[in-house]
């Protein structure tokens, strides 16, 4: 009955995957929203069928799976298409995330980390997090890393970064910041300190979730999560 939730986010090329890798090494329970997002749009799923209805078969690969790059290009340039895609996928993603949270509760984990790339953009789930963690790096380094990683021009990389809330803005909302601007060992030390603080925390979120479940039932809690996330 002492489990609480920690929201983890960052920005494109800020180094969130490095932080997640260290957390997994420490044995932390991490729920990756990106992994779940890929799972819920597999062929024959409800979300897969709805996406095809609205975006057409042109976004399919030969094996029937969705071409994420092709779909990404569409929603990147058309905000209304992005909102439509989110309305299809977010409810399915949240259902699976809730299932995994309950699994880790039953297994007795002290806290669960929700890896949510758009945590601070949507703001809908932050109220369920006891802590929020931002993986930060300074803007020039973020730009350089993205160009090197993706082979983009400076203009293309800047456009991708500007489509997200700036890291300096997200920093204002985070309860903890991991500065990934320096070397990997520096980042690792910060993650270890964060892990120690979370393990020692006496503040728990589960009471809120338990009350919500007892009063409204699991279905009501799912509805609450979905409503706040997509609003």
**pLDDT in the model for residue 76:** 80
d(CA 147, CA 161): 11
Answer whether residue 212 shows pLDDT above 90: no
Overall fold of domain 1-29+111-200 = Rossmann fold (3.40.50)
Average pLDDT, the chain: 87
Q: Give the residue, 122 or 31, on which the prediction is more confident.
A: 31
**pLDDT in the model for residue 124:** 81
Does the predicted TM-score (pTM) go above 0.85? no
d(CA 18, CA 190): 12
Yes or no: say if 11 and 142 are a contact pair by the CB < 8 Å rule: yes
Percentage of the chain lying above the pLDDT 90 cut:
73
**pLDDT in the model for residue 210:** 46
Q: Tens digit of pLDDT for each residue in 188-201? A: 999 999 999 998 87
Yes or no: say if 92 and 85 are a contact pair by the CB < 8 Å rule: no
d(CA 217, CA 4): 19
**pLDDT in the model for residue 202:** 53
Average pLDDT value for residue range 37-55:
95
Which residues fall within 8 angstroms of residue 78, CB to CB, at 6 or more apart?
none
**pLDDT in the model for residue 229:** 39
For the chain, what are the domain ranges?
Answer: 1-29+111-200, 40-108, 205-230
d(CA 137, CA 143): 10
Average pLDDT value for residue range 143-162:
93
The label of the residue with tokens 């985070």 reads: 174
Supply the DSSP symbol for 126. G
Residue (of 162, 156, 122, 158) closest to 9 by Cα position: 122
């Amino acid at each position: 009955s002492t489990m609480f939730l920690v929201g983890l986010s960052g920005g494109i090329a800020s180094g969130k995957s490095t932080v997640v890798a260290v957390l997994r090494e420490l044995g932390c329970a991490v729920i990756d929203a990106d992994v779940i997002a890929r799972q819920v749009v597999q062929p024959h799923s409800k979300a897969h069928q709805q996406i095809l209805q609205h975006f057409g078969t042109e976004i399919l690969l030969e094996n029937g799976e969705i071409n994420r790059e092709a779909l990404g290009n569409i929603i990147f340039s058309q905000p209304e298409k992005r909102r439509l895609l989110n309305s299809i996928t977010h409810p399915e993603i949240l259902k699976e995330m809730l299932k995994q949270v309950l699994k880790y509760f039953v297994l007795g984990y002290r806290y669960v980390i929700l890896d949510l790339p758009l945590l601070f953009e949507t703001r809908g789930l932050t109220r369920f997090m006891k802590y929020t963690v931002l993986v930060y790096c300074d803007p020039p380094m973020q730009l350089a890393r993205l160009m090197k990683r993706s082979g983009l021009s400076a203009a293309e990389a800047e456009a991708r970064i500007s489509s997200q809330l700036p890291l300096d803005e997200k920093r204002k909302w985070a309860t903890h910041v991991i500065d990934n601007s320096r070397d990997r060992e520096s980042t690792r030390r910060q993650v270890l300190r964060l892990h120690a603080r979370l393990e020692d925390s006496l503040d728990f979120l589960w009471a809120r979730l338990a009350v919500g479940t007892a009063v409204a039932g699991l279905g009501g809690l799912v509805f609450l999560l979905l409503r706040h996330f997509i609003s």
